[in-house]
Amino acid sequence: MKVRGRCHCGRIRYDAIVDPERATICHCSDCQMLSGSAYRISVPAASETFSLRGGPPTIYVKTADSGNRRAHAFCPDCGAPIYSSAVCDPQTYSLRVGCLEERAMLPPRRQIWCQSAVPWSANLEAVEQLERG
């Protein structure tokens, strides 16, 4: 699936080809903190399909407890998260689904790091729902 993404302020725009079957929710605590939300949803794009215009994004290199390092790209103006990738010579970019125009067509197919999921995130059916804020 061809996807088009942009940060909130529009400084960074990009497009890519993704496999919708690989849209994933991550419940790890790093994703909670870096997204400011209960979990993050990402979908991978092969590097040869990913083209970035505008920008460049700011890169934050996160070091995991395991020592694994990962580059997290975000807009320096609006702070919107764009992708994460390997620090050197990335083969794939993990695109943040919320910044993609096609986000409604990318329902997550699996959930990872469920051991750190906030318990209420599994079911929001009973939470009051308004059409607009």
Q: Whole-number minimum distance, CB 74 to Zn ion, in Å?
A: 8
Handedness of CA 122, 1, 30, 77 (dihedral sign): negative
Q: Is 62 in the site for Zn ion (CB under 5 A)?
A: no
Query: Residues with Cβ < 8 Å from 27, sequence gap 6 or more?
Result: 38, 39, 111, 112, 113, 114, 115, 116, 117, 118, 121
Residue closer to Zn ion by CB (options 9, 17) is: 9
Residue closer to Zn ion by CB (options 28, 46) is: 28
Could you give phi then psi for residue 89, rounded to 5 degrees? 45, 60
Site for Zn ion in 110-129 (CB under 5 A): none
Q: Is 78 in the site for Zn ion (CB under 5 A)?
A: yes
Q: Whole-number minimum distance, CB 128 to Zn ion, in Å?
A: 28
